[in-house]
């Protein structure tokens, strides 16, 4: 599901080609922040697991397989976070081990961001903007849409879940996405 704000469907047509999966694009003429768009998109889903990725992110070809491995094999997990690479045009590395998770190693550091307890081990940048969570966790802790969270919606979302479920976190220590800052600031 895509939530697209500051747009209307007849002005911004999208391809109606068929995919092997159902999809919905929800248009809003008014501007929405990142938290609002994520909550709107998630409200249309009926899946057991919800995973987020933004328009300025590039998904690793194995990302969904890693998400599926995590939540199928480790059903108690409340949140999965992985690394991303910044501004890179190089191809993604292929991973042979899709079960290389670190469990219960994430925490909220004093500045409020999500951190790995062994941060020197990390291969890339831990990315709060692409978390995966079970539906029941999301329903209880959706993205905070308040002005106080604007610009840091992703980090607030992840650290709230990590704080509530510190022994139910998973971290995949490899780059499962690429991020090129778009400068939209969550709009």
Q: What is the 3-state secondary structure (H, E, C) of the chain?
A: CEEEECCCCCCCCCCCCCCCCCCCEEEECCCCCHHHHHHHHHHCCCCCEEECCCCCEEECCCHHHHHHHHHHHCCCCCEEEEEEEECCCCCCCCCCCCCCCEECCEEECCCCCEEECCHHHCCCEEEEEEEEEEHHHHHHCCCCCCHHHCCCHHHHHHHHHHHHCCCCEEEEEEEEEEECCCCCCCC
Does pLDDT of 127 surpass 90?
A: no
pLDDT in tens, 72-81: 999 999 999 9
Q: Mean pLDDT throughout 130-158?
A: 95
pLDDT in tens, 16-29: 667 777 788 888 88
Residues in Cβ contact with 85 at an 8 Å cutoff, skipping those fewer than 6 apart = 124, 125, 175, 177, 178, 179
- For residue 187, the model assigns a pLDDT of 41
Q: How far is CA 4 from the centre of its chain?
A: 16
Q: Mean pLDDT throughout 82-107?
A: 90
pLDDT in tens, 154-172: 999 999 999 999 999 999 9
Residue with structure tokens 């990390």? 122
Tell me what the pLDDT averaged over the chain comes to: 87
The structure's pTM equals: 0.89
pLDDT confidence tier of residue 111, bands split at 50, 70 and 90: confident
């Amino acid at each position: 599901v895509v939530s697209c704000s500051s747009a209307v469907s007849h002005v911004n047509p999208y391809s109606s080609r068929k995919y092997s999966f159902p999809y919905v694009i929800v248009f809003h003429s008014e501007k929405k922040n990142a938290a609002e768009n994520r909550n709107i998109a998630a409200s249309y889903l009926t899946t057991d697991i919800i995973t987020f990725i933004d328009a300025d992110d590039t998904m690793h070809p194995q990302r969904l397989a890693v998400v599926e491995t995590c939540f199928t094999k480790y059903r108690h997990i409340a949140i999965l976070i992985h690394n991303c690479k910044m501004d890179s045009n190089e191809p993604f590395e292929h991973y042979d081990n899709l079960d290389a998770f670190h469990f219960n190693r994430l925490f909220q550091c004093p500045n409020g961001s999500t951190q790995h307890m062994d941060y020197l081990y990390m291969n890339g940048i831990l990315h709060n903007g692409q978390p995966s969570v079970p539906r029941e966790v999301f329903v209880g802790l959706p993205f905070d849409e308040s002005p106080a969270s604007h610009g840091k919606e992703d980090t607030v979302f992840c650290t709230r879940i990590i704080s509530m479920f510190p022994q139910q976190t998973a971290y995949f220590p490899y780059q499962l996405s690429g991020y090129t800052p778009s400068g939209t600031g969550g709009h």
